Chain A
Amino acid sequence: MKDRFPDGLRELLEQATAAGHPPWRTLLLPGDWLLLLAASVLVAASYPLLWRGGVADRAIVKRDGQLVTELALNVARKYEVTGAIGTTVIEVQPGRARVLSAPGPRQYCVQQGWLTRANAVAICAPNHVTLQLAGRGGRNNAYDTLNY
């Protein structure tokens, strides 16, 4: 197997596996430690900074495209909205919301389950009711789960 490697790689492999190396930690200079530390902090900071946008804080309920109500996502509650063919029940829990029951024949919006991210939508078309989550930032509002 080793014979098939190009010369340069074989040579490097032989050097790397040869005995008498200094311990690994001596290969890190003070500046390296500093840079690794700074880079780790930056990388760790990038998670909350770049992933905050998707957090939803309110649920918007609409009927025939008209706003019915906005529910804050910080208290658990249920909300009933009367649509074209019956009553749709929206359930809100801290940080998430779902359509608990709907009169539609196929129950798509119910089976969609909990919505957790901003701009996620559940549409109960037969009853003309939609449930949409909205976030704080206001960024990316042109995109929802439909044209995702």
Chain B
Amino acid sequence: MPMTPSTIELPVTADDYRIARYAAAAIALTVAEAALPSPLPGIKPGLANIIVLVVLVRYGWRDAAWVSLLRVVAGSLVIGQFLAPGFFLALAGALCSLGVLALAQHLPSRLFGPVSISVLAAFAHIGGQLALARAWLVPHDGVFYLLPLFATAALFFGAINGLVAARLLAIPVATTAAAPPTTEAGS
């Protein structure tokens, strides 16, 4: 298909390609997850966090933050939630869990694997969401009645996601992961 050559050239680094690839994977999981029914608003597996974990362990916190925030913004655009309350809750959760990830990545890796990091991040996620919900959406302590349910879900899904991430990380990193795609049209 003929395309007008772009007059603006943005330099794209291998880092950008790598982040974009992982962010795309995380967004795909977000969209797939949005189709799953949930017993309670806010209780979701959070599958995209598997990707964030893998990126954190492989490439560090900066890349993980990029993937996580791109996932929140672009994922909400795709499922039509951008700037809706759910978007801000997701953003609050993502920011909180990124804060915890920044600390948790310094845990001694001989003792603590991805499962620990995942569970801690999951708790931070519900913590951030509940704090924002209490401050903004439901200004009453009644929201904390839901805390045990959310905490149970966070523990369960955090552990599962951590196990999946640990399994993915146990595989040696693919050599193609950082290479820019070669079949890009119109670039």
Residues of A within 8 A of B (CB): 5-9, 11-12, 15-16, 18, 21-22, 24, 27-32, 35-36, 39-40, 42-43, 46-47, 50-51, 139-140, 143
Assess whether B73 is interfacial by the CB under 8 Å rule: no
B119 beta carbon closer than 8 Å to chain A:
yes
A39 lies within 8 A of B155 (CB): yes
A120 to chain B, nearest CB (A): 14
| 26 residue pairs A–B, Cβ–Cβ below 8 Å | A5-B28, A6-B21, A6-B24, A6-B28, A7-B24, A8-B22, A8-B51, A11-B177, A12-B51, A15-B171, A21-B171, A22-B170, A24-B163, A31-B108, A31-B111, A31-B112, A31-B113, A31-B116, A32-B112, A32-B113, A35-B120, A36-B159, A42-B151, A43-B152, A43-B155, A140-B141
* Cβ 8 A contact of A24, one of B25, B107, B152, B167: B167
Q: B110 touching A46 by the CB < 8 A rule?
A: no
Q: B157 — which chain A residues lie within 8 A by C-beta?
A: none
CA A31 to CA B112, docked complex, whole Å: 5
Set of chain A residues within 8 Å of B140, measured between Cβ atoms: 143
Q: Are A28 and B115 in contact (CB under 8 A)?
A: yes
What CA separation (Å) do A22 and B167 show in the bound complex?
8
Partner of B170 from A27, A40, A43, A140 at Cβ < 8 Å: A27
Over the window 131-173 of chain B, the binary record of Cβ atoms lying under 8 Å from chain A Cβ atoms (1 yes, 0 no) is 0000000001110110110011001000100111011101100
> Looking across the interface, which residue of chain A has its beta carbon closest to that of B19?
A8
Given pairs A8-B51, A9-B25, 20 additional interface contacts (CB within 8 A):
A5-B28, A6-B25, A6-B27, A8-B23, A8-B24, A11-B176, A12-B168, A15-B168, A15-B171, A21-B167, A21-B170, A27-B166, A27-B167, A27-B170, A28-B166, A39-B155, A42-B151, A43-B152, A50-B144, A140-B141
Q: For A21, give the chain B residue with the smallest CB separation.
A: B167
Closest partner residue, chain A, to B113 (CB atom): A29
The complex places the Cα of A35 from the Cα of B28 at a distance, in Å, of 30
Check: B181 CB closer than 8 A to any chain A CB.
yes
Contact A9 B24 (CB under 8 A): yes
